[in-house]
Amino acid sequence: MTATRPSDDPLAANLARWEEQVDIHVGSDFYRMKEFLGGESSLDPIVLSEIGTVRGKRLLHLQCHFGLDTLSLAREGAEATGLDFSPKAIAAAEKLAREAGLDARFVCARVDDAPAKAGTGYDIVFSSWGVLMWLPDLGVWARNIAACLAPGGMFYLAEGHPITWTFEDESERIEENFRIVRSYFLEGPQQWENAHDYAEPSVALTHFRSNEWQHTLGEVVTALAEAGLAIEFLHEHDRLPWPAVPGMVRVDEHYFMAPDGAPAMPLSYSVKARKA
């Protein structure tokens, strides 16, 4: 994997990559589609234990991909809307809703257009796992979340910890991969060239470029606070739903952790914030 600065529209390259990934992900073991159709929730224990009750709530899921989590939230009783900028992902989400016999609305739009395209007055805005690195401006993101929420409404985010971007990933001694060797503070976008699909590693992607922003934890919390949201908690966790660093060990059907011998590090975090 290499990173440089992109010369063309950064979001267009990302969209092409995400469009290619939809069919691969729908068929992958990583997303556990069969289990979802059999009645299992796709939501992981961190999210399920922290989000609180969604039953009867108007909920907006930002960057919903092909709708698995949106539909799991609908199954829990939320009046759910999923938003994603990939037309293929939205079509797959609508098909999945029909297959699962669940009711949810899906909107094809960029996060930057969420209030205009998905509407406002939501009780909950939700976003999780692998979302923020695709967004150029967290100030815009947070102001849009605030605009979408009704007064008293809640925002919940679970995300990979930005410290994982700084770790060594090429050492032959696996436990050494948890040493900091790269900058935490990096101006984006960084252009990555990586044909590897995170859910289906055997597939080589044609659209191997992506443009990503390495937002720090401080930026995330500050953007939400500046948009008028009161932070209720910021939790750091020792596990993550994907192996962000080579050598991470699968501990159950939801998470990977650092191997024995590696120093304990935060690998993910979650934030809950509320509009006054």
Ligand X SMILES: C[S@@+](CC[C@H](N)C(=O)[O-])C[C@H]1O[C@@H](n2cnc3c(N)ncnc32)[C@H](O)[C@@H]1O
User: In the complex, which residues of this chain contact ligand X (CB under 6 A)?
Assistant: 11, 14, 18, 63, 65, 68-69, 84-86, 89, 110-111, 128-131, 134-135
CB-wise, 134 or 178, nearer to ligand X? 134
CB-wise, 50 or 176, nearer to ligand X? 50
Q: Where are any strands of DSSP class E within 131-266?
A: 149-160, 190-193, 209-212, 229-237, 249-250, 256-257
CB-wise, 245 or 262, nearer to ligand X? 245
What does the alpha-carbon distance between residue 254 and residue 45 come to, in Å, rounded to a whole number?
8
CB-wise, 128 or 268, nearer to ligand X? 128
Shortest reach from residue 217's CB to ligand X, in Å: 19
Shortest reach from residue 24's CB to ligand X, in Å: 12
Shortest reach from residue 208's CB to ligand X, in Å: 16
**Would you tell me how many other CB atoms lie within 10 Å of the CB of residue 173?**
10
Q: Locate tokens 């859910």: which residue?
A: 199
3-state secondary structure of 122: strand
Q: Which residues contact residue 201 at a Cβ distance below 8 angstroms, ignoring those fewer than 6 apart?
A: none
Q: Provide the Cα torsion 255, 95, 149, 39; round to 10°.
A: -50
Shortest reach from residue 84's CB to ligand X, in Å: 5
CB-wise, 11 or 231, nearer to ligand X? 11
At position 115, the amino acid (one-letter code) is P
Q: CA–CA distance from 264 to each of 108, 188, 267 (Å)?
A: 39, 28, 9
Shortest reach from residue 214's CB to ligand X, in Å: 15
